[in-house]
Protein backbone atom coordinates (compact mmCIF):
# COMPACT_ATOMS: atom_id res chain seq x y z
CA UNK A 1 0.00 0.00 0.00
CA UNK A 2 1.50 3.34 -1.00
CA UNK A 3 2.33 5.79 1.75
CA UNK A 4 1.32 9.44 1.76
CA UNK A 5 4.73 10.70 0.57
CA UNK A 6 4.48 8.43 -2.50
CA UNK A 7 1.01 9.82 -3.17
CA UNK A 8 2.29 13.41 -2.81
CA UNK A 9 5.19 12.64 -5.11
CA UNK A 10 2.81 11.10 -7.67
CA UNK A 11 0.74 14.28 -7.67
CA UNK A 12 3.88 16.39 -7.95
CA UNK A 13 4.96 14.32 -10.93
CA UNK A 14 1.62 14.52 -12.71
CA UNK A 15 1.26 18.27 -12.12
CA UNK A 16 4.87 19.29 -12.82
CA UNK A 17 6.38 16.88 -15.33
CA UNK A 18 5.31 18.66 -18.50
CA UNK A 19 6.15 22.16 -17.22
CA UNK A 20 9.52 20.99 -15.90
CA UNK A 21 10.38 19.30 -19.18
CA UNK A 22 9.54 22.48 -21.14
CA UNK A 23 11.56 24.57 -18.69
CA UNK A 24 14.63 22.34 -18.90
CA UNK A 25 14.32 22.00 -22.67
CA UNK A 26 14.79 25.77 -22.95
CA UNK A 27 17.98 25.52 -20.89
CA UNK A 28 19.73 22.67 -22.72
CA UNK A 29 20.39 21.86 -26.34
CA UNK A 30 18.87 18.40 -26.69
CA UNK A 31 15.72 16.51 -25.82
CA UNK A 32 17.72 13.57 -24.52
CA UNK A 33 19.66 15.77 -22.12
CA UNK A 34 16.44 17.47 -21.01
CA UNK A 35 14.80 14.10 -20.35
CA UNK A 36 17.81 12.91 -18.36
CA UNK A 37 17.84 16.09 -16.28
CA UNK A 38 14.09 15.90 -15.59
CA UNK A 39 14.43 12.27 -14.51
CA UNK A 40 17.40 13.07 -12.25
CA UNK A 41 15.60 16.07 -10.74
CA UNK A 42 12.55 13.96 -9.89
CA UNK A 43 14.79 11.26 -8.42
CA UNK A 44 16.64 13.74 -6.22
CA UNK A 45 13.37 15.32 -5.13
CA UNK A 46 12.01 11.89 -4.21
CA UNK A 47 15.17 10.93 -2.31
CA UNK A 48 15.16 14.20 -0.32
CA UNK A 49 11.38 14.45 0.07
CA UNK A 50 11.50 14.07 3.84
CA UNK A 51 13.74 17.18 4.14
CA UNK A 52 12.10 19.35 1.48
CA UNK A 53 9.53 21.93 2.55
CA UNK A 54 8.42 23.01 -0.94
CA UNK A 55 8.91 20.02 -3.28
CA UNK A 56 8.00 21.85 -6.51
CA UNK A 57 10.50 24.63 -5.82
CA UNK A 58 13.16 22.05 -4.93
CA UNK A 59 12.36 20.14 -8.12
CA UNK A 60 12.74 23.16 -10.39
CA UNK A 61 15.85 24.41 -8.58
CA UNK A 62 17.44 20.99 -8.87
CA UNK A 63 16.62 20.83 -12.57
CA UNK A 64 18.05 24.32 -13.14
CA UNK A 65 21.27 23.37 -11.34
CA UNK A 66 21.57 20.12 -13.27
CA UNK A 67 21.06 21.99 -16.54
CA UNK A 68 23.78 24.47 -15.57
CA UNK A 69 26.11 21.59 -14.69
CA UNK A 70 25.35 19.95 -18.03
CA UNK A 71 26.05 23.19 -19.88
CA UNK A 72 29.37 23.65 -18.05
CA UNK A 73 30.35 20.04 -18.65
CA UNK A 74 29.61 20.31 -22.36
CA UNK A 75 31.55 23.55 -22.62
CA UNK A 76 34.55 22.04 -20.81
CA UNK A 77 34.43 18.93 -22.97
CA UNK A 78 34.37 21.03 -26.13
CA UNK A 79 37.26 23.26 -25.16
CA UNK A 80 39.71 20.68 -23.79
CA UNK A 81 41.07 23.23 -21.29
CA UNK A 82 42.95 25.31 -23.87
CA UNK A 83 44.12 23.28 -26.83
CA UNK A 84 41.12 23.55 -29.11
CA UNK A 85 39.25 26.19 -27.12
CA UNK A 86 40.66 29.12 -28.99
CA UNK A 87 40.02 27.43 -32.32
CA UNK A 88 36.45 26.59 -31.34
CA UNK A 89 35.68 30.26 -30.74
CA UNK A 90 36.52 31.18 -34.33
CA UNK A 91 35.32 28.14 -36.24
CA UNK A 92 34.45 28.92 -39.81
CA UNK A 93 30.82 29.55 -40.55
CA UNK A 94 31.26 28.93 -44.25
CA UNK A 95 33.74 31.73 -44.68
CA UNK A 96 36.31 32.01 -47.43
CA UNK A 97 39.75 30.39 -47.24
CA UNK A 98 41.20 33.85 -46.62
CA UNK A 99 38.75 34.43 -43.78
CA UNK A 100 39.60 31.05 -42.32
CA UNK A 101 43.33 31.86 -42.58
CA UNK A 102 42.75 35.12 -40.69
CA UNK A 103 40.73 33.29 -38.03
CA UNK A 104 43.51 30.72 -37.69
CA UNK A 105 46.05 33.51 -37.30
CA UNK A 106 43.93 35.21 -34.61
CA UNK A 107 43.59 31.91 -32.77
CA UNK A 108 47.34 31.26 -32.98
CA UNK A 109 48.14 34.74 -31.65
CA UNK A 110 45.63 34.44 -28.83
CA UNK A 111 47.02 31.04 -27.86
CA UNK A 112 50.56 32.50 -27.86
CA UNK A 113 49.43 35.41 -25.69
CA UNK A 114 47.81 33.05 -23.20
CA UNK A 115 50.80 30.71 -23.13
CA UNK A 116 53.04 33.65 -22.11
CA UNK A 117 51.10 34.09 -18.85
CA UNK A 118 52.39 32.56 -15.62
CA UNK A 119 50.92 29.09 -14.95
CA UNK A 120 48.54 30.18 -12.19
CA UNK A 121 47.49 33.33 -14.04
CA UNK A 122 46.90 31.27 -17.20
CA UNK A 123 44.86 28.67 -15.30
CA UNK A 124 42.65 31.35 -13.74
CA UNK A 125 42.21 33.11 -17.09
CA UNK A 126 41.32 29.92 -18.98
CA UNK A 127 38.81 28.86 -16.32
CA UNK A 128 37.16 32.29 -16.42
CA UNK A 129 37.14 32.95 -20.16
CA UNK A 130 36.72 29.50 -21.69
CA UNK A 131 34.85 27.68 -18.92
CA UNK A 132 32.76 30.54 -17.49
CA UNK A 133 33.73 29.75 -13.91
CA UNK A 134 33.06 32.32 -11.23
CA UNK A 135 35.91 33.85 -9.24
CA UNK A 136 34.79 31.78 -6.26
CA UNK A 137 34.86 28.53 -8.28
CA UNK A 138 38.30 29.37 -9.66
CA UNK A 139 39.58 30.20 -6.18
CA UNK A 140 38.35 26.84 -4.88
CA UNK A 141 39.85 24.91 -7.79
CA UNK A 142 43.22 26.63 -7.56
CA UNK A 143 43.32 26.92 -3.77
CA UNK A 144 43.75 30.70 -3.77
CA UNK A 145 41.74 33.69 -2.54
CA UNK A 146 39.02 35.14 -4.81
CA UNK A 147 40.82 38.51 -4.71
CA UNK A 148 43.95 36.80 -6.06
CA UNK A 149 41.83 35.32 -8.84
CA UNK A 150 40.53 38.80 -9.64
CA UNK A 151 44.11 40.11 -9.81
CA UNK A 152 45.19 37.20 -12.05
CA UNK A 153 42.28 37.82 -14.45
CA UNK A 154 42.98 41.55 -14.61
CA UNK A 155 46.68 40.93 -15.26
CA UNK A 156 45.90 38.27 -17.88
CA UNK A 157 43.55 40.60 -19.73
CA UNK A 158 46.05 43.43 -19.62
CA UNK A 159 48.99 41.29 -20.80
CA UNK A 160 46.97 39.45 -23.45
CA UNK A 161 45.59 42.68 -24.91
CA UNK A 162 49.06 44.24 -24.92
CA UNK A 163 50.54 41.21 -26.71
CA UNK A 164 47.78 41.26 -29.34
CA UNK A 165 48.05 45.04 -29.83
CA UNK A 166 51.79 44.70 -30.46
CA UNK A 167 51.17 41.98 -33.06
CA UNK A 168 48.41 43.85 -34.90
CA UNK A 169 50.25 47.18 -35.33
Q: What is the 3-state secondary structure (H, E, C) of 35-50?
A: HHHHHHHHHHHHHCHH
CATH for 4-79 is 1.10.1740
Residue extents of the structural domains in the chain? 4-79, 85-167
More confident of the two residues 49 and 157 = 157
Q: Which of 127, 94, 13, 76 is nearest to 103 (CA)?
A: 94
Segment among 4-8, 56-60, 67-71, 163-167 with least mean pLDDT: 4-8
Whether the per-residue pLDDT at 85 is higher than 80: the answer is no
Rounded to an integer, what distance in angstroms lies between the CA atom of residue 8 and that of residue 5?
5
Kindly report the number of other CB atoms within 10 A of residue 105's CB atom. 12
Give the pLDDT band of residue 4 (cuts 50, 70, 90): low
Region 68-73 average pLDDT: 79
Q: pLDDT, tens digit, for every residue of 101-140? A: 777 787 788 888 888 999 999 889 888 888 888 899 999 9
Q: What is the pLDDT of residue 92?
A: 44
Region 41-47 average pLDDT: 86
User: Are the CB atoms for 52 and 45 separated by under 8 Å?
Assistant: yes
User: Are the CB atoms for 124 and 138 separated by under 8 Å?
Assistant: yes
Rounded to an integer, what distance in angstroms lies between the CA atom of residue 160 and that of residue 166?
10
Whether the per-residue pLDDT at 141 is higher than 50: the answer is yes
Q: Enter the pTM of the model.
A: 0.45
Q: What is the pLDDT of residue 95?
A: 59
CATH for 85-167 is 1.10.10.10
* Maximum Cα interatomic distance, the chain, rounded to a whole number of Å: 77
Whether the per-residue pLDDT at 7 is higher than 90: the answer is no
The residues, any chain, with a CB within 8 Å of residue 145's CB and separated by 6 or more, are 139
Q: pLDDT, tens digit, for every residue of 11-25? A: 888 898 899 999 999
User: Are the CB atoms for 160 and 117 separated by under 8 Å?
Assistant: yes
Q: Please provide the average confidence, as pLDDT, over all residues in the chain.
A: 81
Amino acid sequence: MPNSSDDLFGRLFSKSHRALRLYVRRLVDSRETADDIVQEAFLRTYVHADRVKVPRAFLFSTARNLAADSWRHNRVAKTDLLGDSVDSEVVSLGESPEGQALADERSRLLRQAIERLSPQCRAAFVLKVFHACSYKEIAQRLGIAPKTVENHIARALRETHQYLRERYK
